[in-house]
Amino acid sequence: MNIHQAEIQLAGARHLRWLPDGVVVSDDGLLISGWALSVWDRQDRVRFLVNGVAFDKLDWPLDSSYLTATFPDIPHASLSRFFAWHPRTPDRNLFPDGFARFNVTGPLGEHRLSYRTAWYLADPASEVGMPTPEQIERVIGKPDEQAYRLGGATIVKRVEQLLLERFDRPLASFESILDWGCGAGRLCRYLTARSSAVTGIDIDPDNVAACAYLLPKARFLQVDLMPPTPFPAAAFDLVVGLSVLTHLDEPVQDAWLAELQRITRPQALLLLSVQGLAQMSLYRAPPEMALAAHEKGILDNGANAQLTDVLADQTYYRDVMHSRDYILTHWAKWFDVLDIIEGMAGNQDLVLLRRRTD
């Protein structure tokens, strides 16, 4: 067995653990489907939970032979598919606090860190208007409204729980929140339910216009490909940047890290995502790529075509990977790197940073 390939597979099994690929909400209840991996627990001891309790009906394990190409060495990967059903009842609120929480756990159930593998879906009755399929595709790579909603709600809820766990701070306690690279508002649509002080910026003018129309509770600005932004120094005390630095080469990355340092307050928190081994497992990335990223620190794999229709500069938007050591050392020029949490940000790794006090 190639040890690097084994580590990539184990990262997916350990830090992602499971992945939903369909959720149907009807007048009768909730139906969720997907796959779940188990390395240490027997499959008959794995638990499927909604809002902390077992689903009423579970079909598991089912054939998932397609997963053997992704996880050839993970036990029972070929029998990891499931369908789980939870009916509505008069005394059961499927969306407490506006969200349904789904999780797959070991036999002991959820604990204080289980939010890191939980997936969340907002109550469809509370959803605002959606961007177009084309706008969604430029953000997540496919015109899938359900994946867009599920991913956005999950990332915001995980961020919310992380801030409570590590700093005992709810989102509402931050005075000024920046969604850096807001795209079509995948995060902003849920951030605005927790805070009235959300700003979204992006280089995509079409998506910025869509956000301004669909999400009037936040403010949105188009920014240039390179800083500076129009914000004054120390404007924000929380920054979320999902899959932005995964698309910037090193000189552009460094310019933006310096700008984020300028526009954040002392002790501000930043949560920025990067590609890690967990996401590589889903993409079936060759271990040679992970090894190259480890050796170089930052690896530019070439241009990314997702923003071709909205950017004049076709070389700006890249596919970029970072090593953990590179993040811990190079990014420390601008911020204290507090943690790198694997697989927590829409399958990417989440880097937790803090602005130093000058």
- Report the CATH number at residue 57: 2.60.40
Q: What is the pLDDT, as a whole number, of residue 163?
A: 98
Q: Is 303 helix (H, G, I), strand (E, B) or coil?
A: strand
CA distance 301 to 53: 43
Average confidence score pLDDT of the chain:
96
What's the average model confidence in pLDDT over 52-69? 97
Q: Are 41 and 106 in contact (CB under 8 A)?
A: yes
Q: Are 71 and 37 in contact (CB under 8 A)?
A: yes
Residue 346 in this model has a pLDDT that exceeds 90: no
Q: What is the pLDDT, as a whole number, of residue 358?
A: 78
Same domain, 55 and 151: no
Same domain, 117 and 160: no
> Which candidate, 123, 316, 134, places its Cα nearest to that of 210?
134
Same domain, 180 and 312: yes
Q: What is the pLDDT, as a whole number, of residue 1?
A: 67
Residue 147 in this model has a pLDDT that exceeds 70: yes
Last residue of a domain, which of 126, 144, 173? 126
Structural domains counted in the chain: 2
Q: Is 112 helix (H, G, I), strand (E, B) or coil?
A: coil
Q: What angle do CA 101, 105, 106 make, to 5 degrees?
A: 160
Same domain, 109 and 159: no
What's the average model confidence in pLDDT over 7-34? 96
What's the average model confidence in pLDDT over 231-241? 98
Residues linked to residue 59 through DSSP beta bridges, in sequence order = 83
Same domain, 189 and 52: no
What's the average model confidence in pLDDT over 267-291? 96
What's the average model confidence in pLDDT over 37-52? 96
CATH number at residue 231: 3.40.50.150
Same domain, 110 and 20: yes
Residue 258 in this model has a pLDDT that exceeds 80: yes
Same domain, 188 and 206: yes
Same domain, 164 and 292: yes
Q: pLDDT for 156-214, tens place per residue?
A: 999 999 999 999 999 999 999 999 999 999 999 999 999 999 999 999 999 999 999 99
- Collect contacts of 16-24 with beta carbons under 8 A, ≥24 apart: 16/117, 16/278, 16/281, 16/282, 16/343, 16/347, 17/104, 17/117, 18/104, 18/117, 19/282, 19/347, 20/102, 20/119, 20/150, 22/146, 23/102, 23/121, 23/146, 23/150
Last residue of a domain, which of 126, 145, 173? 126
Same domain, 118 and 138: no
Same domain, 108 and 149: no
Domain extent, residue 45, equals: 3-126
Same domain, 245 and 338: yes
Last residue of a domain, which of 126, 154, 171? 126
Q: How many CB atoms lie within 10 A of CB 175?
A: 12
Same domain, 55 and 184: no
Residue 341 in this model has a pLDDT that exceeds 80: yes
What's the average model confidence in pLDDT over 67-83? 96
Q: Are 318 and 301 in contact (CB under 8 A)?
A: yes
